Chain A
Amino acid sequence: MQEFDVLVVGGGASGLRAAIAAKHAGASVALITKVHPLRTNTAIAQGGLNAPLSKDDSPEIFAEDTLLAGDGLCDRNIARTFAQEASEDVIWLERMGVPFNRNKDGRLDLRPFGSNSRRRTCYTDDRTGHIVLQVLHEQFQRHQIPSFEEWFVTSLAVDGDSCLGVIALGLRSGRLDAFTARAIILATGGFTRMYLPSTASIGTTGDGQSLAHKAGARLMDMEMIQFHPTVFPKGQGLLITESVLGEGAEIVNDKGEAILASKAVPRHTLSVSLHEAMQNGSGAVALDLKRIGNEKLMSCFPQTAESARTVAGIDITKESVPIMPLAHRPMGGIETNLAGETTLRGLFAVGECACNGLNGAGRLAGNTLTEAVTFGRKVGEAAARYAKGAAKRNFPAGKLTDEEKRLASISGGDSSGDSPGKIHSELGKLMNERVGLVRDGAALKEALERIQGLKERYRKIRVRNPSRIYNYELTSYLELESMLNLAEIVTLAAQARTESRGAHRRADFPERDDRNWRSHTLVSLVQGTPKLNQKPVTG
């Protein structure tokens, strides 16, 4: 049994920032993560992170842009607090060593990005996530925080309505162990790997949201999934940063003609226009980056050039890149307040796995990384404060033996030719076809039935590999359970919301309906089944 004041689950930007902040606030902290922090999904973020630093900008304008992108579903107070504090968190990153691109005065250069009405996106070429992640990991090491890497959390331990800790499997040792803490912070990232293809890494499977839901915490706005407009759709899906549009790239048809007004448009609007253009006979749609000019293209977008070459086999200085909108990041997640508190006592959530109301129905381009560092700090501090006043938890040893038994029960036996990979492939295709960018009642109903069928099949599958050491068959099996659970919840919430708002587009309800739907969808587990509720938007 390991014991700490604050335990952070997840080694991406939010988790590292939260761990540093909690340690700084005087708590004993540990991090637990299923992959090494530098391999987390943060590394794929490219375009940049927002801070209202320019002379013609202000936290008020930044908050308005954030609210506009959220299409009436943001919590106004959260957006204001975020906009007020963002600049200091981004400057903090600079002070800690991020080699941001500079303007001629040596100040942070600001790039136009998505529907930001001002230049406010700080960046490091087209590798912002990768480099911010490195600097956060450097500072994490500077703070000498114990780090349990390649430990896979298999369940949350709860007692009534409070969270006692987690049970996790050490992939290297093969040992199952209990970790208890006065405050547990989930920072486990998104779940868009339930869509195939998408922009997600292999581990972006919604473990945290699913574990929290099973433990009794409430999820919010799960139907809100951002589809990124500029993704090369073959193979796993390759995201081309939208910041190329701000620098002169255009969306073109097969004749090479620019077909869309793509500047300063929210992502969901751009994705829907693209979708319509493809439906209305434009056929293949592509991204023409040549218009940026070779010199700027190679100096500002070196990674884009490299990935297009190695993954898609395309030379972006000569050819356009075929694109279509694909699932990128969810806006919804574990419901929290400003301090990151969930509906379970002692359980906090932050970053992409959480939903505090900042993003509403659509996330402003460049807000993801800022959200990770600003709320990572705030939630880390809040958890440390909470831990100081909380009593020591009694973690019954029986919970560990129960989990041992559960894992043993899924091992061994025959799966009759079925497998987690086959079910995942079908789920990924189903979600793209039926719960994709544009949805309708009939498709959602069909999707729900088919997800039930996939869950049935899942229950019959057994893990063949009896070992516990680096048993990725077992971890993929557990990840698939999370994706199936969340796919059902996403579909239920999408079915319930009979309007079109932000990222949620219903062909059968094309208008925004403020009279009935200026409210969040809430999902909680009641007697083993997900139950829906609503909560009016505040502020």
Chain B
Amino acid sequence: MEVTFKVYRKDPEKDGKPGRSNYTVELPEDATVLDGLLKIRDEMDGTLAFRASCLRGYCGECMMRVNNSARLTCTAKVSAYTKKGPEISLDPPRNVPVVKDLVFDWDAFMWNKIKTVKPWLEPTGEASDGENLIPDAAMKDLRKVMSCYYCGMCDEGCTVLPVDFNFLGPAALTKAYRFVFDPRAKDTRERLKILEQPKGIWDCVHCFEADEHCPRGIEPTKRILAIRDKAYKVGITNEKVARHHASFAASVKESGWLDEGRLALESEGLTNIKGLMKLLPTAAKALLRGKAPIPYLHAKRPGADKIKKIFEKGEGEKK
């Protein structure tokens, strides 16, 4: 079949401005997108830069956007994309600096972020003592997480990274999960302290895009939430987050629903003048646009007493 690939181009040795090249190639019916790229580079244009390694969906190296969604080109069949017409667009992933054509900066995108989560286990005991005795259930969860082949599709789909590129992102935080929940790790508190820093676990907005994008069903968002839970339980969390949680719960317990004004004030801390000052512009805008009623009163919702009882029951059970 004849296919035209419309490929994103960028040459760091020229003006570095993005452009596009079109290549029309003849491919067998069962060809993959990678087969097409290899043929283009070999026969038509040796300057085209893209990466590939395992060729069979084991490694994640050839991730890019095929018709605007992130895929591994080695498993993406051309025929799946040509039903509406013989054209396929190829672009680097979103949220990442491009070096040349489809070659982007994996270091900045993922590897360097993984390095910051202390991505190793401190060994426990000596090999000569034999293996650690651990039930398989604990290992099974880790094997699932470690089936991650670092394709970066979770980071590609993340909604925080376009706003803040320095957010560690779901891939690095999922890597951290593998240590936080490894029964052999003895430095969990230290790692949680790293993870609760700004740009870490609390910057995730749990939009669940990462879970939608992960091709292996590892559910990175759920892993991030699990790390948060663990950190909160052992008392490793920054004060603002702790105040935010406490205020959220208190508000719902007392009135049956969320008092957003109170949440904002209490999260910053009522003695934190600098933090409260930062809220002023937002409050002013809200007032101007009629989003904040005057006087600001937060009424109980109907049935608030029942909600309060649920809280009290829960607190009783916890004790």
Chain A residues near B135: list those with CB within 8 A. 102, 106
Using known A-B contacts A38-B59, A44-B54, A236-B56, determine if residue A96 contacts B123 with beta carbons closer than 8 Å: yes
Q: Is B15 an interface residue (CB 8 A)?
A: no
Residues of chain A at the chain B interface (Cβ within 8 Å): 35-36, 38-41, 43-44, 88-89, 91-92, 94-97, 99-103, 105-109, 124-125, 127, 130-131, 134-135, 138-139, 141-142, 172, 201-203, 234-236, 238, 302-303, 306-307, 310-311, 419-422, 463-465, 467, 469-473, 476
On whether the beta carbons of A35 and B57 are closer than 8 Å, the reply is no
CB-nearest residue of chain B relative to A417? B43
**A534 to B32 Cα, complex, angstroms:** 44
Chain A residues near B127: list those with CB within 8 A. 88-89, 91-92, 95
On whether the beta carbons of B53 and A202 are closer than 8 Å, the reply is yes
Shortest Cβ distance from residue B152 to the other chain A in the assembled complex, whole angstroms: 12
On whether the beta carbons of A463 and B46 are closer than 8 Å, the reply is yes
Among B58, B136, B143: residue with most chain A CB under 10 A = B58
**A99 to B61 Cα, complex, angstroms:** 24
Shortest Cβ distance from residue A374 to the other chain B in the assembled complex, whole angstroms: 12
Q: Is B125 an interface residue (CB 8 A)?
A: yes
Among B30, B59, B100: residue with most chain A CB under 10 A = B59
Using known A-B contacts A105-B133, A201-B53, determine if residue A141 contacts B120 with beta carbons closer than 8 Å: yes
On whether the beta carbons of B32 and A99 are closer than 8 Å, the reply is no
On whether the beta carbons of B146 and A131 are closer than 8 Å, the reply is yes
Using known A-B contacts A102-B136, A467-B47, determine if residue A94 contacts B147 with beta carbons closer than 8 Å: no
| Stretch of B34-42, B220-228, B259-267 contacting A (4+ beta carbons < 8 Å) | B34-42
Using known A-B contacts A172-B99, A201-B55, A470-B100, determine if residue A310 contacts B143 with beta carbons closer than 8 Å: no
Chain B residues near A127: list those with CB within 8 A. 143, 146-147
Q: Is B130 an interface residue (CB 8 A)?
A: yes
If over half of B's interface residues share one DSSP class (helix, strand or loop), that class is named, otherwise mixed; here it is loop
Q: Is B159 an interface residue (CB 8 A)?
A: no
Q: Is B124 an interface residue (CB 8 A)?
A: yes
A422 partner, pick from B42, B146, B216, beta carbons under 8 A: B42
CB-nearest residue of chain B relative to A109? B136
14 A-B pairs in the complex with CB atoms less than 8 angstroms apart: A38-B150, A39-B53, A44-B59, A97-B120, A97-B184, A99-B182, A101-B143, A102-B134, A131-B146, A306-B216, A420-B42, A422-B42, A469-B100, A476-B42
Using known A-B contacts A43-B149, A96-B121, determine if residue A141 contacts B115 with beta carbons closer than 8 Å: yes
On whether the beta carbons of A107 and B131 are closer than 8 Å, the reply is yes
Chain B residues near A465: list those with CB within 8 A. 46-47
9 extra interface residue pairs, beta carbon distance < 8 Å, beyond A303-B147, A470-B100: A35-B53, A39-B53, A39-B59, A41-B54, A44-B59, A107-B133, A125-B143, A131-B143, A310-B75
Using known A-B contacts A95-B126, A203-B53, determine if residue A421 contacts B143 with beta carbons closer than 8 Å: no
**A131 to B175 Cα, complex, angstroms:** 12
Shortest Cβ distance from residue B216 to the other chain A in the assembled complex, whole angstroms: 8
**A100 to B106 Cα, complex, angstroms:** 29
CB-nearest residue of chain A relative to B148? A134
CB-nearest residue of chain A relative to B145? A99
Q: Is B111 an interface residue (CB 8 A)?
A: yes
Q: Is B13 an interface residue (CB 8 A)?
A: yes
